[in-house]
Structure 1
Amino acid sequence: MGDHFNLEISTSYGKTYTFFVKSMPTLLPNFESYINEIGTFTKETKLFQTLLEKLRKLSTNAWCPKSYYIYENDAIIMENLVRKGYQVMNHREYFTYQQFSAFIKTVAAFHSTTIIYEELTRKNSDFKNFRLIDKYRNLLEECGYPCDETHIRHKALVCNANAFVSNLKYLNNYKEGFDKQIWKELNNLPNRMKINRYRNVMNHGDLWCNNIMFSGNEGENLKCLLVDFQFARYACPSQDLMLAMYTTTNREFRTKYYDHFLEMYYNALGDELKTYSLNINELYPKNDFLQSCSEKRIVGILLAALYTVMVFYRSEDIDNVLSNADNFWPFNFGNKNEFVLNILKNDEHLRERFSEIYQDILEYVL
């Protein structure tokens, strides 16, 4: 979340260098105030200054853009991925098998760097139980879904939960008697996202299609990078996996490939650890990983439900809301139930997303 610019620097030798600049948002005062309150932009600048650069060097496979200069709390100058052929997919299209495969390998490389960093620290210091959050707690504390009910993000959670649940009765697959339970599950989401007994790593925290960029043709040459680390947290890897799976694929895809992609991820994670002579079976047993995925699956489903009423709109339906200061607070923290209903009536894609995620929740509740 921020303002985006291209920066071109021409030298006296006739060369031109192009960079991408992400700065603190200033076009909407309300939005700037919100970003300051939750601290996400400051968090990301500090991440690029410190932790991301350390972790990035621990993998031979790229998983995030390089940063070149940080103006703390103001701007990040990084490599221009668009000029290098990367692009964000249409946010209303689902990933293909090849795209999700590329994503799985990238996120495994990203997650592996935490385990590598922790294990190297334990080996080479007196901190035999070292965890990444012990050193970088201020950068990895939960800021997206805090348990504090007075936090502005909790107000956003309630707003989106109400918008989702209040419109379920208009779906063709609606079942009476579960609305209150679903609302309670959504409201309890922060508690489900706490650090648990399984192996934890730095999570991206916001893995939907707009934060996943691809380069190359479908197939072996397809590359993937992750961007926007403002909601980074320390949590089990499955939390990132489940969020991405339930926001970037449809039910048919998940039903067919769920187990396949968990296997692909675990193998890719193991391959990354092998480069440092680390044994995944000792550090993160497969049964622990699969059990974690089973427990965190509902987190991915519930987050996807919230994302459905936050980001998956047509441009013509949402652009005026996002660019108008008067609409910012009501849409994000007020009552947008009727706004969502009016769009649902005429947007087949949004109705399909709604219905599929609702069906996923029902299977959990029932």
Structure 2
Amino acid sequence: MSPTLSLLSREDCEKILHRSVDSGQLLSYKIRKFHDDVAGFLGEHYQLTLKYNTKNTTNQSTYFIKALPLGNLNQLDYVQESGIFRKEVILYQNLLTELIKIGNFGPKCYFIKDSCIVLEDMKAKGFEMMPKEEYLDDLHCIAMLKTLAKYHSSTIIYERKRNIKLDEKFQEEIKETCFSFIEGQPRHKWCVCVTKCVNDLIKLLPIENCDAICAKFEKFVFEKMPQMLAPSKQFTNVLTHDDLWCNNLLFNDKPECVFVDFQLARYTPPALDFLISLFLNLQYSHVEENLSKFVDIYYSFLVEALKKNNLDERELSRREFDETLGFYKLAALTETAMYATHIYVSEKLSNEIVADFHSYNEFSFINRSKFAVKEFQDNSQYRDRLCGILKPLVEELNGAPPCRDL
């Protein structure tokens, strides 16, 4: 039996129909590959179509399936060893579904099993990704910040209503899956590989004392980032997304925004998520010039969501949020730079990498620099986007005057 046919049984589909439609009798179901612009490595994407009868009328509903890469054993071994897919499964099972009911920030989940998650088809509801090669305009940025505020506030509301902290009850669900600082683990190999890649790209910038800066960066990643990515004992923590680049943001034409792909979620102060989302999707200079405006917008939406649930700004004061912006700035620049080495590569190179296991393995865990340095030299758009984040990273590490233009 093919992996596609084994994903869901008729009984599974009847449960999905019952949970998503008021009433109906299942007639048939069909699963086909979901045509993403970019192939996925951490999972396969499918569309489920259910045909059903309601009051003598034939209807049809579609759903989005995110599944383990069952057709590729090399990919499957990595995804299972890293625990990334399982994390999203248990997040939806135990926590995320309840938070979405509060904050309405992501697609509804209708069915979960170890090998797949069946979600609301947001494309059928008019949501789609923005072009990868473009920065967000202010209108879409505000939509993103509104959803970010609803997402972050949902944790505060959930915790207050139940008188719990997420890190007390959901330790497995909030476990760090992006960075690992334990030698031998797949994500530790990723950390080492990508840290070296960022440093190799920094060396292409026309800056002085480059070796010292690269040493500072490596030290920060392996000595300071473990503390930055852990729940804070000093500041308010919420469930954060930490991977809000354009492929994980869907917009409709209003525009409204929803978030997808929560496998890297963690429990940290919201400022880290806030800064990463801006650094990944806007020009850094635009963020710097408009930061106070973006903070005002985000914080007003946050307080609005809290007040709708009989809470107020005392749950997360503006003073605390402003303090954490400075505290987490270098961590946000660090994580953005590491992500940027991958997410800004051309569509062509991205598909070539994920289509071949050996290329993906080399890119992710052995020698990303081999791909990124060539892309930096040959692709002006990649070079411009990388420089846009590497230069402020260097300034933050160095405390020196700005880098010269290339």
* TM-score (normalizing by structure 2): 0.83
1:91-170 alignment to 2 at 5 Å?
91-122=132-163, 130-170=164-204
Per the TM alignment, residue 181 of structure 1 is displaced from its structure 2 partner at its CA by 1.4
Amino acid at match of 1:159: C
Amino acid at match of 1:168: I
The yes-or-no answer on 1:179 pairing with 2:217 is: no
- Number of the residue aligned with 1:127: none
CA distance in 2, matches of 1:79, 1:215: 15
Residues 27 and 173 of structure 1: is their aligned pair in 2 closer, same or farther, counting only changes over 3 Å? farther
CA distance in 2, matches of 1:201, 1:44: 17
Q: Which of 288, 294, 312 in structure 1 is aligned with 2:326?
A: 294
CA distance in 2, matches of 1:149, 1:238: 29
Amino acid at match of 2:47: N
Per the TM alignment, residue 172 of structure 1 is displaced from its structure 2 partner at its CA by 4.2
CA distance in 2, matches of 1:252, 1:271: 29
1:174-323 alignment to 2 at 5 Å?
176=210, 177-188=212-223, 189-196=225-232, 197-216=234-253, 221-280=254-313, 282-323=314-355
The yes-or-no answer on 1:89 pairing with 2:89 is: no
The yes-or-no answer on 1:70 pairing with 2:112 is: yes
Per the TM alignment, residue 204 of structure 1 is displaced from its structure 2 partner at its CA by 1.4
CA distance in 1, matches of 2:323, 2:159: 22
CA distance in 1, matches of 2:203, 2:100: 46
Per the TM alignment, residue 67 of structure 1 is displaced from its structure 2 partner at its CA by 1.0
Uncovered stretches (5+) of structure 1, i.e. residues with no partner: 123-129
Residues 291 and 120 of structure 1: is their aligned pair in 2 closer, same or farther, counting only changes over 3 Å? same
Q: Deviations over 1:300-343 (max 9, x none)?
A: 10011111212211122232121012212111100132221111
Q: Say whether the 8 Å CA contact 1:242–1:299 is kept in structure 2.
A: no
Per the TM alignment, residue 344 of structure 1 is displaced from its structure 2 partner at its CA by 1.1
CA distance in 2, matches of 1:11, 1:278: 43
Per the TM alignment, residue 256 of structure 1 is displaced from its structure 2 partner at its CA by 1.8
Where 1:50 maps in the other structure, the secondary structure is helix
CA distance in 1, matches of 2:323, 2:47: 44
Amino acid at match of 2:360: F
- Number of the residue aligned with 1:125: none
Per the TM alignment, residue 213 of structure 1 is displaced from its structure 2 partner at its CA by 0.7
* TM-score (normalizing by structure 1): 0.92
Per the TM alignment, residue 131 of structure 1 is displaced from its structure 2 partner at its CA by 0.7
Uncovered stretches (5+) of structure 2, i.e. residues with no partner: 1-41, 400-406
CA distance in 1, matches of 2:368, 2:119: 36
CA distance in 1, matches of 2:342, 2:226: 17
CA distance in 2, matches of 1:46, 1:192: 24
Per the TM alignment, residue 179 of structure 1 is displaced from its structure 2 partner at its CA by 2.0
Q: Which of 22, 42, 51 in structure 2 is aligned with 1:10?
A: 51
Where 1:83 maps in the other structure, the secondary structure is helix
Number of aligned residues: 351
CA distance in 2, matches of 1:6, 1:104: 29
Amino acid at match of 2:356: N
Q: Say whether the 8 Å CA contact 1:244–1:300 is kept in structure 2.
A: no
CA distance in 1, matches of 2:348, 2:159: 47
Q: Deviations over 1:277-307 (max 9, x none)?
A: 2121x22121111111111111110011111
- Number of the residue aligned with 1:338: 370
Report sequence identity in percent.
Answer: 26
Amino acid at match of 2:220: E
CA distance in 1, matches of 2:285, 2:360: 35
Amino acid at match of 1:89: M
Amino acid at match of 2:106: C
CA distance in 1, matches of 2:359, 2:203: 26
Per the TM alignment, residue 153 of structure 1 is displaced from its structure 2 partner at its CA by 0.6
CA distance in 2, matches of 1:230, 1:222: 25
- Number of the residue aligned with 2:25: none
CA distance in 2, matches of 1:231, 1:339: 24
- Number of the residue aligned with 1:51: 95
Amino acid at match of 1:17: S
CA distance in 2, matches of 1:21, 1:154: 29
Per the TM alignment, residue 6 of structure 1 is displaced from its structure 2 partner at its CA by 0.8
Amino acid at match of 1:200: N
Per the TM alignment, residue 68 of structure 1 is displaced from its structure 2 partner at its CA by 1.0
CA distance in 1, matches of 2:101, 2:119: 16
Per the TM alignment, residue 171 of structure 1 is displaced from its structure 2 partner at its CA by 2.7
- Number of the residue aligned with 2:16: none
CA distance in 2, matches of 1:56, 1:354: 33
Amino acid at match of 1:337: S
